[in-house]
Structures are given as structure tokens and as C-alpha cells.
Structure 1
């Protein structure tokens, strides 16, 4: 199997990009504890390390020709887990409204609901759409910025404004990509029934 860029996707498990994705997953509970305990500086550091490793694992996978099926699952799973954990932590702390948590979780639940249909059609997942990547990018920048507003009184206003801009754009793009994804699943379903 090959990616859209023509790279071969392997079944390898032990690669540096996969190790970075796994490390990111291990940091999720660390981040959760830090944000609940209001250790915002440390939580922000964990988010920064996670964001850097998210970029690095994809870059290295493509550069070193180490794109793997496992990596294609681990990377977006880690992204979703960070988004969910951050949302719940910020919601618990009252830093984001619960409606935002519900809207973003509902989108991910919508995507999960398509998995049985895809499995029945013989697909494990569909290629990630650019809008989905852009939405995830916005959300992964929004939450650290909102948290930065709690750490620094000097940066509270600009970090908060930028954080909310990224959060709202990210939410819109996230749902737009989700709708396109559901449409793709529906097209596959109709093609199969024909």
C-alpha cells in the first residue's frame, strides 16, 4: 500500500516515528494529572513536547521512509486523546465552556460511528482530509494558548484571544472535515450496494 505521496506503507512496528507516537500516548495521563492539579506551567511544557513530537514523528516517517500502518493509527489516536484530555481538563477547570466540549466530542463520536460501516466495506479507515489536519492543528494550538493565558498575566489577553480564534476555527474545520468524511463513507456504501 502507498500513501498519497507515493510512499510505501509498511507493517513494521519498531520505528523511531512509532516510538515518538507511543511516547506521546504515555504523556497523556501525565498531562491529565498536571492540568487537574493546576500545574499549568508543567502541563504547558508537556503539551509543547507533545506538539513537537507530533510534527517530528510525521516528518521523520516520511523522510526516512518509515510510514507504517501502526503509525497511521497511533498518530491520529494520540491527537484525539490529547484533544479530549485537554478539553475535559479545561472544562473541569472552567477555562472552556462545556458546550465546546460537547461539540468536539460529538464530532469524534460521529467518526467512531462510521467505523462499523467501513469495516463491513473492507476498509479500516479513510485517508485523512486536509481540512481535518487543519482543524486538528488549530485545536492543538488553541488549548496551549488558552493555558498560557493562565500561566502568564502579561500574555493573558493576547494568548486568550489567539487561543479562542484557533479554538473556533478549529472547531469549524473539525466538523467540516467530519461531514466530508461521513459523505465519503456514504458514497462507499452506495457504491457497494450498487
Structure 2
């Protein structure tokens, strides 16, 4: 997802209006306020049903704010930076919360978060050469979809209802496939960055400012 964040940031710099009070930005702020609430429901009160509902609502509003931004022409620089930031906070806090609750192994969270940290660092290679971020790999989108699907299913498996076992199995399947694809695409992105670093010299103008 760092590659998608960088693409959105680049698009914002390339001409998105500098607007603050828009419907998509309001939705992003509401999602941001939901992060500590989600952790409270998950870890303090262990209200898994409410935490599950909040996770679903967050995913729905994430999709909705993008649709609204395009339909109403309300894209903005703030939104291009805020939306992926909130996405990242939800993913990281959910993974950490799941580890604390024992829903997923700690090493799975470490792999997923570590992959994003590494890819964020590889973006320096492109910036120092005055290049745009790498194109998003389609397989990476599939990996992200699998992981985003796994989280609510896994939480649903912790709830006291008739489909808990089914939900856990579905969530585990999405988690396994998503993790494998996520790590694999991370390796591909790192390979691209290494190739760029070897083939293209650092831009003189980028050394002082954009790096």
C-alpha cells in the first residue's frame, strides 16, 4: 500500500485543488476518529460485534469517499494525503490489536507491517532520481483486497454466533493468501527499486530538496 499512497500523493502534487472542507475529507476525519474507538472496543471492552461493525463501516466509507470525490469533483491535496494515512492507521492498529487478542500470530503482523516499512523506504530511490513512484502491480491490489477481507472475517470468527467457525475458516484462508501475495509483491517492488538504483544516477536537483 505504500506504492498506492505515493501514487495518490504524486497525483495531489500534480494538480489536485487545495481544498479542506469537502465531503470525502469529512468522511476521512470521521474514520480517523474511529481508530481509537475501534481499539477500545476490541481490547478494552472486547465488544467484538461493535468492533466488527465499525470495521465494516470504515471499509464502506473508504470506498464511498473515493466515489464521492470523483462524482462531485471534490478531490483535494488534503484528501490525497489523509485517506491513505487513515487506511494505514486502521490496518496497523487492527493487526496489532489482533495480535494482542491472539487472533493472529505476531509474525504475520510483523511481516505485513515490515513489508510496508521496507517499501516506504524504497520510495526514496525514486525521489532522489526525480522519478514518479512505480506503477501499482495488479497482484498487489489482489493481495490488499484479500487482507482487507480477512480482517472482518477473522473478527467475526471471535463472535458468539452460529457462523463463527465458518467465518474463522474464511478469514484464515484470506489471510494466508493475502500474506503470501503481499510479501511476494513486496519483493517485486524491491527488485524494481534496486534495478532503478543501479541503472539511473541520482538527480542533482533532487539531492537537496526532494530526497
**TM-score bracket for the superposition, by shorter chain length:** 0.7 to 0.9
Aligned to 2:107: 99
Residue 151 of structure 1: SS of its match in structure 2? coil
Distance in 1, Cα, partners of 2:136 & 2:55: 23
Contact 2:125 2:196 in 1 (8 A): no
1:62 aligns with 2:70: yes
Q: CA deviation at 1:141?
A: 1.6
Aligned to 1:151: 159
**Which of 77, 83, 86 matches 1:75?**
83
Structure 2: gaps of 5 or more residues: 1-6, 203-211
Contact 2:129 2:201 in 1 (8 A): no
Equivalent pairs counted in the alignment come to 190
Q: CA deviation at 1:12?
A: 2.4
Aligned to 1:186: 194
Structure 1: gaps of 5 or more residues: none
Distance in 2, Cα, partners of 1:123 & 1:46: 38
Aligned to 2:26: 19
- Between 1 and 2, higher relative CO (CA 8 Å, sep ≥ 6) is seen in 2
**Which of 26, 29, 35 matches 1:28?**
35
Contact 1:9 1:67 in 2 (8 A): no
Deviations 1:71-95 (A, max 9, x none): 3333232222211111111110111
Distance in 1, Cα, partners of 2:125 & 2:49: 42
Q: CA deviation at 1:125?
A: 4.3
Q: CA deviation at 1:127?
A: 4.5
**Which of 152, 173, 182 matches 1:174?**
182
Deviations 1:152-173 (A, max 9, x none): 3311111011111111121122
Task: Give the TM-score of the pair, scaled to structure 2.
Answer: 0.78
Distance in 2, Cα, partners of 1:72 & 1:184: 24
Distance in 2, Cα, partners of 1:137 & 1:44: 17
Deviations 1:122-143 (A, max 9, x none): 3574454333332222212211
Task: Give the TM-score of the pair, scaled to structure 1.
Answer: 0.84
Residue 89 of structure 1: SS of its match in structure 2? helix
Cα RMSD for the two superposed structures: 2.6
Distance in 2, Cα, partners of 1:129 & 1:67: 23
